[in-house]
Structure 1
């Protein structure tokens, strides 16, 4: 049965009047937290979230440079898939799988071996998904949600005060602690949160920091096409073994793509070879693509059944 926050708590308003995602409490809401949108935000919550992300990623970079596998493992410790936001691909019980348990070993290896991380070029967490295998929009969203969980709780409590939504104490796990100048995880903390009809806690997510399903894959493909067009096809060394199919032996863009198919390994190598790749891509392409979703776009996801029945 469909049950959004606004209807469950009788708020007498819909998504356009709310600062948070009016999630359906009884299903997966296919929206994903986007660190790039957090980076763009000027509000106090976005700035706090960005600080958490920066410190978290700086800790990872330092550990990689020291070749400290134990420190990387410790920093990744709290990244269990969040269930309280009801965003992304959770199970039907809203109890997702643990990132730490299922992917941690593989993720540590990928991070330590990645040349863009080793060199320090991959200095921003928001670029992480371009270069690390098995890290897609849902994984990035889950990771970011855990990294900024304390800020989301603060945001939730403020929204509950505004809308007079009842809360009660819950024991919540894995809060990132950056107060001591390094990264650690607080394993348990008592916090006030709103709750659903089954007594399960809910964490609200600001509507200005989410993206649609598939947006990350589109960004990846855009980066690949940009790299081919602006850098690879003008690199004589990269074109040495490309078989031309154009008139008079001309190498066409499709020929370069056949020789260099899209892969995160290739993008990592190109990033290390072409120092301006990411900066130029963000300036020329990504800046035009990244923007908060409109209320209508969000409503098409969270009120999907209502919209379908009304049409």
Structure 2
């Protein structure tokens, strides 16, 4: 099993590398996290964030204007990326990604979503909380395509630093954040088994289960801090506590977790998403440790790491 470090005969492992030392011929169950990009102070991440904001802002504008042609054009470049080797690129699960067959479903979900149309969903990194059928794998794939030109530039810099050979290859679907167009360019990249490799900064990846963890945390925060304190939301809730006391389990029974509910609650309670991020989520966002990444890229210990 080759990793980047072993294939290119570099005498170093993950702790000494700035990028993820991926296995080259199989899955690496790590995912690019736009939240980590948003909070990072690195110059590379700032370039990435500029492109994400440009893409998402233009997409929201097109959706609100009912400009279906523009929406389709913006989403046309979101085919599944293989060059980073992250996520499910090589596995039987690749159908869960942003492949051609799923694009219409994803486009329709984004177009119809009330959180997008009302402005509640103004940050791309919050997509996982509101839009159905978009989890960590699809968010990672979408992010990868939007920031692909920055990742290529980063890869080239790392190759120059480590004396890793590169080959000229064609790359499709490179987003130009100034024109909002998807371009095809010839670029220099390292190659393994005839296929290009794009490196990903290790401080920008997360584990598979973190998206669901964020979703569940947002739901619990909403129930405890907003739904349980709103008399209208408590109507028809059947209490099971002593003397007719309404318990949290009663509220959850009446208002089970769904992205549609989270959307409606975020519209009803204008501070819900802001308070969740400032009071709970932001302080819990942090890059993975080298050991967590190593458990994915060097071992079969993913279940223990997640």
- Whether 1:227 aligns to 2:222 is yes
Q: Which of residues 190, 195, 200 in structure 2 aligns to 1:194? A: 190
- Whether 1:184 aligns to 2:181 is yes
RMSD (CA atoms)? 1.8
C-alpha distance in 1 between matches for 2:77 and 2:200: 19
| Equivalent residues of 1:84, 1:201 under 8 A apart | yes
Structure 1 residue 69 displacement after superposition: 1.7
C-alpha distance in 2 between matches for 1:192 and 1:95: 26
> With structure 1 as the length reference, what TM-score do the two structures score?
0.94
| Equivalent residues of 2:84, 2:197 under 8 A apart | yes
Partner SS state of residue 99, structure 1 = coil
Partner SS state of residue 172, structure 1 = strand
| Runs ≥4 residues deviating over 2 A | 91-98
| Equivalent residues of 2:97, 2:138 under 8 A apart | no
Structure 2 spans left out of the alignment, 5+ residues = none
| Equivalent residues of 2:29, 2:296 under 8 A apart | yes
> With structure 2 as the length reference, what TM-score do the two structures score?
0.95
- Whether 1:212 aligns to 2:215 is no
Range that drifts further, 133-142 or 101-110: 101-110
- Whether 1:203 aligns to 2:202 is no
Structure 1 spans left out of the alignment, 5+ residues = none
C-alpha distance in 2 between matches for 1:200 and 1:93: 19
C-alpha distance in 2 between matches for 1:15 and 1:243: 53
> Who is 2:67 aligned against?
68
- Whether 1:287 aligns to 2:247 is no
Q: Identify if the C-alpha distance between structure 1 residues 199 and 124 changes in structure 2 by more than 3 Å, giving closer, same or farther.
A: same
- 1:38-68 CA-partner distances (Å, limit 9, x unpaired): 0111111100000000000001110111011
> Who is 2:246 aligned against?
251
Partner SS state of residue 91, structure 1 = coil
Partner SS state of residue 45, structure 2 = helix
Partner SS state of residue 182, structure 2 = strand
Partner SS state of residue 174, structure 1 = strand
C-alpha distance in 2 between matches for 1:96 and 1:158: 32
- 1:69-121 CA-partner distances (Å, limit 9, x unpaired): 22111110100110010000122499878725122212222222211111112
- 1:224-250 CA-partner distances (Å, limit 9, x unpaired): 000000000111111101111111111
Q: Identify if the C-alpha distance between structure 1 residues 58 and 64 changes in structure 2 by more than 3 Å, giving closer, same or farther.
A: same
> Who is 1:269 aligned against?
264
> Who is 2:297 aligned against?
302
Structure 1 residue 303 displacement after superposition: 1.0
| Equivalent residues of 2:97, 2:137 under 8 A apart | no
> Who is 1:237 aligned against?
232
> Who is 2:127 aligned against?
128
Q: Identify if the C-alpha distance between structure 1 residues 6 and 72 changes in structure 2 by more than 3 Å, giving closer, same or farther.
A: same
> Who is 1:116 aligned against?
115
C-alpha distance in 1 between matches for 2:285 and 2:160: 31
Partner SS state of residue 245, structure 1 = coil
